[in-house]
């Protein structure tokens, strides 16, 4: 059940009603437990709807990290603890290695052997990567390390822990929650909070608009050009690359807002994964605004354990590069993602070296810095989007051939309506510090008119084919 599907529109109100009915009706006699069990069944049901056998992988990772956390907590000796955490982490990573990286590793190995004259023909696995595998694996791993670092106690209640890993609003595309944020909420008795639910609906509506109207419309143009980039002019490729930057934002932020909205409607607060990243004035700031939960995970479990910025400049640069290479690998089993990670890491090292990583206060300087950051990020997205680094360079080179851009009147006319709206909302939130989609929040009639217009815009201008979210495949 993806959020932009017809199924979600009719099923979620039923889930909402049943969840709150069970939570509120039985509040004295263990309503929390019943509601949690209900959410757990829904979460596993949502996953099983896609693939029943792969639900076992979800269950396997959950059980394994639960057990290892309990064992780690029971150990006193540091050396043994360290050994157990590494065993647990590697075991949790095993499905990810097999499903996502096996072919990549064997191909890379075969290429390396071919380079020294040994020809091998490795047999690849033709297995589909379980949906959301990278997200829930990282969430479970984060929990395991937090227990190891004694930031939290190991969870005793297995059902609560199962819900923590499989919580359906975030299982497919994140955000990656921390155990100390989500587990206490799972244990808490739920009271319906009107304001929380209303803000959840707003996020749901805005996220849907970002995905269906904004991202998927841009996707029509991007897919046309990137299907055969060299067939189109350089300006078409430039336009498609810029559009892709916005498409991936609308797609991923749209999902994250919808996840946040659904969670809030169920009485949960999860991390807001995006904070207007294209208003960032440096690549370093961009990563404080883009996929915030992943950045936080990488910072906590990769960057800081390696020494962070505490051990001199060179070590800091090494740590940044290492962190972003891991980020690249996390995104996919292809050299393009690693290269994309290297580009982001290198840009941040350079910014740090010349002091461009700090926030810009001067209003005049902000605009060129925002444009420059956007250009760097867009350049890196080209490699992220295309199947090989060679093709990425080919497209970059082809951009200089100029020529008239390909015009898709229908897509561009839709964008002429939606783009100013998205920009206006983001601008007002960034610089006027208004609350979320608060441009319609002052007067009751205007606010409701705004909601109705947004809802009708989705039906009128959206691409309603229930296309998958880009990040689901990561």
Partner 1 sequence: MKRFVCKILLFVLLLCSSDWILGAVFKLYDYTNRGEVHKMHVLMNKVSPQMLVLGSSRAAHHYNPRIIGDSLGLEGFNGGFDGKGTTIGYGILSGVAQRKFPDVIICDLEPSFDILDDNGSTKGINNFAPYINNPVIKTLINDFDPNAKWKMKSNAYRLNSSLLRIIPSVLSQHDDCISGYKPSYGKLKPNDGLKKTQSDPNYERKISPLKEKYLRALIQDAKKNGCKLIFSISPVYGGKDISYYQQELAIISEYDLPVLNHLNEPSLINRWDLFSDDVHLNDEGATKYSKIIANEINKLIRQ
Q: What is the DSSP string of 132-180?
A: THHHHHHHHHHHHHHHHTTSSPPP--HHHHHHHHH-TTTTTT-----HH
DSSP one-letter code for 406: P
**Is 424 near partner 1 (CB under 8 A)?**
no
* Nearer CB in complex with partner 1: 375/455: 455
* Nearer CB in complex with partner 1: 77/227: 227
* Nearer CB in complex with partner 1: 24/112: 24
Q: What does the alpha-carbon distance between residue 347 and residue 354 come to, in Å, rounded to a whole number?
A: 11
Q: Least distance from C-beta 384 to partner 1, angstroms? A: 23
Locate 96 and state its tokens.
């990810």
Among 25, 401, 413, 435, binds partner 1 (CB under 8 A): 413
Q: What does the alpha-carbon distance between residue 300 and residue 297 come to, in Å, rounded to a whole number?
A: 5
**Interface with partner 1 in residues 431-470 (CB under 8 A):** 448, 451-452, 455-456, 459-465
**Is 335 near partner 1 (CB under 8 A)?**
no
Q: Least distance from C-beta 251 to partner 1, angstroms? A: 18
Q: Least distance from C-beta 452 to partner 1, angstroms? A: 5
Q: Least distance from C-beta 416 to partner 1, angstroms? A: 9
* Residue 51, phi then psi, degrees to nearest 5: -160, 120
**Is 279 near partner 1 (CB under 8 A)?**
no
The packing angle between helices 234-265 and 363-385, to 10°, is 100
* Nearer CB in complex with partner 1: 162/205: 205
**Is 126 near partner 1 (CB under 8 A)?**
no
- Sequence-ordered list of residues with C-beta below 8 angstroms from that of 356, at least 6 positions apart, any chain: 282, 350, 369
How far apart, in Å, do the first and last CA atoms of the chain sit? 17
**Please, are residues 282 and 369 in contact by the beta-carbon 8 Å criterion?**
yes
**Is 149 near partner 1 (CB under 8 A)?**
no
Instruction: Tally the residues of the chain.
Output: 474
Q: Least distance from C-beta 3 to partner 1, angstroms? A: 16
Closest Cα partner for 125 from 104, 148, 146?
Answer: 104
Among 192, 393, 423, 431, binds partner 1 (CB under 8 A): 192
* Nearer CB in complex with partner 1: 359/387: 387
**Is 20 near partner 1 (CB under 8 A)?**
yes
* Nearer CB in complex with partner 1: 410/446: 410
* Nearer CB in complex with partner 1: 19/148: 19
* Nearer CB in complex with partner 1: 112/452: 452
**Is 414 near partner 1 (CB under 8 A)?**
yes
Q: What does the alpha-carbon distance between residue 424 and residue 443 come to, in Å, rounded to a whole number?
A: 18
Tell me the C-alpha to C-alpha distance, in Å, between residue 434 and each of 3, 123, 317, 361. Answer: 26, 55, 37, 19
Tell me whether the omega of the peptide bond preceding residue 355 falls within 30 degrees of 0, making it cis. Answer: no
The packing angle between helices 389-398 and 234-265, to 10°, is 120
**Is 304 near partner 1 (CB under 8 A)?**
no
Q: Least distance from C-beta 198 to partner 1, angstroms? A: 7
Among 67, 197, 322, 350, binds partner 1 (CB under 8 A): 197
Burial (CB count within 10 angstroms: exposed 0-12, middle 13-18, buried 19+), residue 186: buried
Closest Cα partner for 321 from 369, 332, 307, 333?
Answer: 307
* Nearer CB in complex with partner 1: 20/268: 20
Site string for partner 1, 391-410 (x = CB under 8 A): -------------------x
Which parts of this chain interact with partner 1 (CB under 8 A)?
Answer: 6, 10, 20, 24, 192, 194, 197-198, 410, 413-414, 417, 448, 451-452, 455-456, 459-465
């Amino acid at each position: 059940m993806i959020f932009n599907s017809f199924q979600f529109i009719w099923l979620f109100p039923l889930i909402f009603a049943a969840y709150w009915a069970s939570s509120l009706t039985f509040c004295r006699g263990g309503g929390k437990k019943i509601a949690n069990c209900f959410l757990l069944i829904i979460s596993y049901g949502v996953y099983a709807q896609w693939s029943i056998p792969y639900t076992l992988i979800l269950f396997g990772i959950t059980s394994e990290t639960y057990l290892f956390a309990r064992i780690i907590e029971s150990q006193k000796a540091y050396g043994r603890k360290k050994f157990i955490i590494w065993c647990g982490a590697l075991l949790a990573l095993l499905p990810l290695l097999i499903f996502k990286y096996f072919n990549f590793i064997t191909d890379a190995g075969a290429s390396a052997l071919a380079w020294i004259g040994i020809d091998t023909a490795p047999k690849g696995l033709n297995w589909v990567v379980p949906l959301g595998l990278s997200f829930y694996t990282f969430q479970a791993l984060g929990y395991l390390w937090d227990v190891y670092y004694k930031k939290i106690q190991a969870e005793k209640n297995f059902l609560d822990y199962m819900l923590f890993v499989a919580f359906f609003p975030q299982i497919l595309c994140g955000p990656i929650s921390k155990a100390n944020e989500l587990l206490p909420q799972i244990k808490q008795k739920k009271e319906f909070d009107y304001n929380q639910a209303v803000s959840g609906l707003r996020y749901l509506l805005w996220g849907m608009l970002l995905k269906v109207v904004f991202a998927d419309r841009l996707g029509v143009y991007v897919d046309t050009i990137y299907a055969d980039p060299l067939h189109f002019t350089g300006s078409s490729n430039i336009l498609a690359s810029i559009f892709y930057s916005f498409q991936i934002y609308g797609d991923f932020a749209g999902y994250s807002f919808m996840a946040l909205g659904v969670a809030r409607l169920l009485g949960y607060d999860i991390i807001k994964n995006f904070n207007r990243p294209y208003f960032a004035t440096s690549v370093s700031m961009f990563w404080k605004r883009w996929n915030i939960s992943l950045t936080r995970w990488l910072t906590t479990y990769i960057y800081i354990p390696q020494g962070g910025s505490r051990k001199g400049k060179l070590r800091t640069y090494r740590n940044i590069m290492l962190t972003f290479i891991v980020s690249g690998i996390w995104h996919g089993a292809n050299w393009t993602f690693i290269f994309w990670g290297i580009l982001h890491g290198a840009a941040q090292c350079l910014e740090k070296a010349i002091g461009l990583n700090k926030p810009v206060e001067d209003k005049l300087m902000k605009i060129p810095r925002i444009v420059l950051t956007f250009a760097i990020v867009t350049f890196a997205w080209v490699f992220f989007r295309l199947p090989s680094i060679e093709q990425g360079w080919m497209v970059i080179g082809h951009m200089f051939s100029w020529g008239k851009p390909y015009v898709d009147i229908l897509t561009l006319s839709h964008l002429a309506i939606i783009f100013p709206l998205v920009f206006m909302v983001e601008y007002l939130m960034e610089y006027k510090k208004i609350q979320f989609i608060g441009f319609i929040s002052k007067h009751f009639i205007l606010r409701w008119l705004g909601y109705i217009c947004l809802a009708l815009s989705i039906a009128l201008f959206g691409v309603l084919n229930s296309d998958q979210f880009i990040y689901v495949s990561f």
